[in-house]
Structures are given as structure tokens and as C-alpha cells.
């Protein structure tokens, strides 16, 4: 029985986005797939465990954001006996990714999309299994329990593994880059567009803690204990974002001005968090730059949506 954390090399940064290989006897599964570029490293790690792609029983995506699920079709093609386990709202995009691809291509442009995510193909419907909230799947000597967790994305679930008493959290338990843990734990939420909801996000954190898990396996990035303590810190961060959202809804700003307003406030959250831990360096800011922008955009998007009722 083993768990391997695999560095996907996403965006060329170390320890930025993980995938996981879980082995139980002669069975294997992957959690998260990152992008097509990560698949060779995942298969190499599998072979290093003395296993073949034909022994992969399941591939799990916590949600369909492309840094979590962009490589799913390529990995499924490489693992001919695997079944994809997905949230009901995520499964339809795995089966027919055309809307997902079109949306991302519009944002990035066709060439940049190919550079970031490669080719995303449809996954045959008969190879996709939908997991409702609370559903359980047996895997060797362990039970996997799937818990729907909104707040970051409406198509998100987490997976409790009874064998290790750990939870694969996707983005529902925030982000904790290893490079920022030198002077004590630093965890913060991912509030990226389009489904951010601070109340639901806090409820999801509570749902994860309620499993009694000893470990959380973050996609961004790695394995952490002291789950209750991290949850307390994460919920305090989410409270800041909830206050910002309320302020943004009432503000006179619209469109790009609202995004700028929210992003500046989010940058302030990060500045305080980094300062408190003696981490306010260019290296740290480079690491969190994308999170600052996405979190600001997410709060602004939610504020605009709330205004429309």
C-alpha cells in the first residue's frame, strides 16, 4: 500500500501542481491528471512502482478545471482498463469537452491553449462513472468516499481514503505551496472564477474536517497533517474574502475597475500573510502571482453576479 506525490511540472514551476498515485496490492489509481504534458511523468512513476498501465483501475478528477483534469483523456487512453470517476457536473465535460475547450481557447488563444493543455479528447461515456455525494467505491482493502464540496467550483468533490485516513482535496481545502511553509503553515483559498462562494467554501472545509482525516492531499501542493489547525487558518482567510465580496457588491466599481479593486485588496491579503511569516520576497510573489490575479477575478465575478440577482 503506497501513496506517491507526483510533481506535474505545471507552468514550469516545481511543487506547484500535484497528481497522486495510490497503490493497493496489484491495483493502482491516479487522482488528478494535470495536463497532457504531465502524463509521461505519471506513467513513469507507475512503472517505478513495478506496475503497468493496464493495472490502473481508476482515474479520479476532483473537478474539471484544466490544471486538474486537462490530461484526463490522454491518461485514459494510456490506461486501457481504467474508469474515470467524476462529479456529475464534471462527467459531462469529460465525455464532451467541446464547451470546455472552446471557452479556454477563447481566453488563451488556440496556440497558447495547445502549449498549456495539449489536446483534450472526448472520453467514452461507458468509461466514465458518476459519483453522487456520499458515494463509496471499494479499492483493494480500502473504501473511497466521495463528498461534494462547493465553494470553489460547483463540479467539485473530495475523496476520503479509509486506508490512509486522508482526503484528496482538489482546491476545496485551499493552496499551501511547500516553498511558503518555511516559517510555519501558510494556507490560503482559491477563489477563482466562476463559482466562488465563501459560505459554501467554509462549509466544504468543515465537511473535510468532519471526516476525521489525519491528512489532506492538496493538489497545490502536497501532503499535510494538523488538519484542524489548517482549517482554522483557511476559514479565517475565507472570512477576509467574504468581507471583500460584500464590499465589492456595494462598491461603485464595474467591469475592469471592479477587477482591479478586488485584485488590489487580494494583494493586500497576500502581503500580510507573507509579511507575517517573513516570506515577502520576489520569489514568493512570483509563486503567488497567478493566485492573486485569479482570486481577484473570482471575487469580482461573484460580485457582478450577485448584483444581477
Where in 178-277 does DSSP place strands (E)?
Answer: 215-218, 222-224
Question: Given its phi and psi angles, is residue 135 left (phi above 0), alpha (psi -120 to 50 degrees) or beta?
Answer: beta
Number of domains in the chain: 2
Please check whether residue 149 lies inside any domain of the structure.
Answer: no
52: exposed, middle or buried (Cβ count in 10 Å: 0-12, 13-18, 19+): middle
Give domain status of residue 290, yes or no.
Answer: yes
CA distance 39 to 53: 11
What is the three-class DSSP state of 133? coil
State yes or no: pLDDT of 107 exceeds 80. Answer: no
- For residue 141, the model assigns a pLDDT of 92
Q: Is the pLDDT of residue 309 over 80?
A: no
- Of the candidates 157, 145, 136, the one whose C-alpha atom is nearest the C-alpha of residue 211 is 145
pLDDT at site 108: 81
**Which residue, of 96, 130, 164, is where some domain finishes?**
130
pLDDT, tens only, 39-78? 999 999 999 999 999 999 999 999 999 999 999 999 999 9
* pLDDT tens figures, 153-170: 999 999 999 999 999 999
What is the structure's pLDDT at 1?
A: 59
Average pLDDT over residues 76-98: 97
CB-based contact 148:207 (threshold 8 Å): no
Residue 221 placed within a domain: no
As a whole number of angstroms, the distance between CA 284 and CA 177 comes to 10
Looking at 101, 130, 159, the residue that finishes a domain is 130
Among 37, 50, 12, CA closest to 21: 50
Q: What angle do CA 39, 42, 8 make, to 5 degrees?
A: 75
Same domain, 241 and 126: no
What residues contact 77, with CB distance under 8 A and at least 6 apart?
121
212 in a structural domain: no
For 27-39, the pLDDT digits (tens) are 999 999 999 999 9
CATH of the domain at 8: 3.60.15.10
> pLDDT tens across 203-249, in order?
999 999 999 999 999 999 999 999 999 999 999 999 999 999 999 99
What is the 3 state secondary structure string of 251-297? CCCCHHHHHHHHHHHHHHHHHHHHHHCCCCCHHHHHHHHHHHHHHHH
Q: Nearest to residue 273, comparing CAs of 187, 202, 182?
A: 187
Nearest 10 degrees: Cα torsion 256, 259, 264, 270: -150
Say if residue 3 is in the same domain as residue 123.
yes
Q: Is residue 160 part of a domain?
A: no
**pLDDT at residue 68, rounded to an integer:** 96
Give the separation between CA 153 and CA 197, rounded to whole angstroms.
9
163 lies in some domain:
no
Residue 128: closest CA among 90, 83, 159: 83
In a domain, residue 257? The reply is: yes
Chain-centroid distance of CA 169 in Å reads 7
Last residue of a domain, one of 130, 163, 191: 130
Same domain? For 114 and 239 the reply is no
**Cβ-proximal residues to 272 (8 Å cutoff; 6+ apart), any chain:** none
Number of H helices, E strands in the chain: 10, 12
* Residue 84: predicted pLDDT: 98
292 located within any domain: yes
Give the per-residue pLDDT at 248.
97
Rg, C-alpha atoms of the chain: 19
- Domain ranges, residue 93: 1-86+88-130
Amino acid at each position: 500500500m503506497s501513496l506517491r506525490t507526483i510533481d506535474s511540472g505545471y507552468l514550469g514551476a516545481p511543487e506547484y501542481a500535484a497528481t497522486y498515485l495510490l497503490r493497493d496490492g496489484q491495483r493502482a489509481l491516479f487522482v488528478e491528471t494535470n495536463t497532457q504534458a504531465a502524463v509521461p511523468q505519471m506513467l513513469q512513476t507507475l512503472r517505478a512502482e513495478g506496475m503497468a498501465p493496464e493495472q490502473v483501475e481508476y482515474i479520479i478528477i476532483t473537478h474539471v478545471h484544466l490544471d486538474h483534469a486537462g490530461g484526463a483523456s490522454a491518461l485514459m487512453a494510456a490506461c486501457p482498463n481504467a474508469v474515470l470517476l467524476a462529479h456529475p457536473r464534471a462527467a459531462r465535460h469529460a465525455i464532451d469537452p467541446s464547451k470546455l475547450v472552446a471557452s479556454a481557447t477563447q481566453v488563451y488563444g488556440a496556440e497558447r491553449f495547445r502549449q498549456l493543455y495539449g489536446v483534450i479528447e472526448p472520453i467514452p461515456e461507458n468509461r466514465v462513472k458518476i459519483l453522487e455525494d456520499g458515494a463509496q467505491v471499494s479499492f483493494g482493502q480500502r473504501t473511497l468516499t466521495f463528498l461534494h464540496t462547493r465553494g470553489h467550483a460547483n463540479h467539485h468533490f473530495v475523496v476520503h481514503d479509509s486506508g490512509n485516513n486522508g482526503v484528496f482535496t482538489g482546491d476545496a481545502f485551499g493552496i499551501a505551496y511547500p516553498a511558503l511553509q518555511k516559517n510555519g503553515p501558510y494556507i490560503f483559498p482559491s477563489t477563482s472564477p466562476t463559482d466562488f462562494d465563501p459560505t459554501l467554501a467554509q462549509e466544504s472545509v468543515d465537511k473535510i474536517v468532519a471526516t476525521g482525516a489525519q491528512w489532506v492531499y492538496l493538489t497545490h501542493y502536497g501532503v499535510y497533517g494538523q488538519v484542524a489547525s489548517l482549517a482554522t487558518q483557511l476559514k479565517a482567510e475565507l472570512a477576509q474574502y467574504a468581507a471583500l465580496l460584500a464590499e465589492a457588491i456595494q462598491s461603485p466599481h464595474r467591469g475592469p475597475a471592479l477587477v482591479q479593486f478586488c485584485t488590489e485588496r487580494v494583494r493586500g491579503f497576500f502581503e500580510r500573510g507573507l509579511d507575517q511569516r517573513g516570506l515577502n520576497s520576489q520569489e514568493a510573489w512570483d509563486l503567488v502571482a497567478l493566485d492573486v490575479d485569479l482570486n481577484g477575478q473570482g471575487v469580482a465575478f461573484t460580485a457582478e453576479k450577485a448584483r444581477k440577482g
